[in-house]
Amino acid sequence: MSKKYDLISIGDTTIDAFIRLHEASIHCDINKKNCQICMSFADKIPYETLDVVPAVGNSSNVAVGVARLGLKSAPFTAVGGDVFGKQILDTYHKEKVSTEFVKINPKAQTNYHFVLNFQAERTILIKHNEFQYFDVKKIGDTPWVYFSSMPPNLFSFHEKLATYLVKHPKIKMGFNPGNQMKLGVEKIKKVYRQTHVLFVNREEAQKILKIKNPNPKVLFAGLHKLGPKIILITDGPDGSYVSDGKDAFYMPIYPDPKPPISRTGAGDASSSSFMAALIYGLSPVEAAQWAPINSMNVVQHIGAQKGLLTKSQLLSLLKKSPKNYLPKKI
Query: Per the domain annotation, does 37 fall within a domain?
Result: no
Indicate whether 168 pLDDT > 90. yes
CA-only gyration radius of the chain, Å: 19
Average pLDDT for 130-157? 91
Question: Does this model's pTM top 0.75?
Answer: yes
Indicate whether 181 pLDDT > 70. yes
Indicate whether 280 pLDDT > 70. yes
99 against 39, higher pLDDT: 99
The neighbouring-strand residues paired with 144 are: 172
Q: How far apart are CA 130 and CA 150, in angstroms?
A: 10
pLDDT tens, 41-83? Answer: 999 989 999 989 999 999 999 999 999 999 999 999 999 999 9
| Nearest one of 298, 274, 184, 284 to 243, comparing CA atoms | 284
CATH number of the domain where residue 94 is located: 3.40.1190.20
Indicate whether 326 pLDDT > 60. yes
Indicate whether 1 pLDDT > 60. no
Task: Give the pLDDT score at 291.
Answer: 97
Least confident of 34-38, 210-214, 216-220, 225-229: 34-38
C-alpha distances (whole Å) from 7 to each of 45, 70, 147, 180, 193 are 42, 11, 11, 21, 20
| Eight-state DSSP code of residue 200 | E
The neighbouring-strand residues paired with 25 are: 38
Which domain does 246 fall in, by range?
Answer: 2-22+48-329
Query: Per the domain annotation, does 242 fall within a domain?
Result: yes
Confidence of residue 25 (pLDDT cuts 50, 70, 90): confident
Query: Per the domain annotation, does 31 fall within a domain?
Result: no
Sign of CA dihedral 180, 182, 188, 194: positive
Query: Per the domain annotation, does 163 fall within a domain?
Result: yes
Average pLDDT for 150-168? 90
Indicate whether 3 pLDDT > 80. no
Query: Per the domain annotation, does 35 fall within a domain?
Result: no
Cα torsion through 89, 92, 93, 98, rounded to 10: -100
Per-residue 3-state assignment (H helix, E strand, C coil) for 87-139:
HHHHHHHHHCCCCCCEEEECCCCCCEEEEEEECCEEEEECCCCCCCCCCHHHH
- Mean pLDDT across the chain: 93
pLDDT tens, 225-251? Answer: 999 999 999 999 999 999 999 999 999
Query: Per the domain annotation, does 34 fall within a domain?
Result: no
Split into its structural domains, the chain has a count of 1
Indicate whether 261 pLDDT > 60. yes
Query: Per the domain annotation, does 28 fall within a domain?
Result: no
Query: Per the domain annotation, does 260 fall within a domain?
Result: yes
Q: How far apart are CA 270 and CA 17, in angstroms?
A: 22
264 against 176, higher pLDDT: 176
Percent of the chain with pLDDT over 70: 99
Q: How far apart are CA 306 and CA 297, in angstroms?
A: 9
Percent of the chain with pLDDT over 90: 78
Determine the 3-state secondary structure of 22 from DSSP. coil
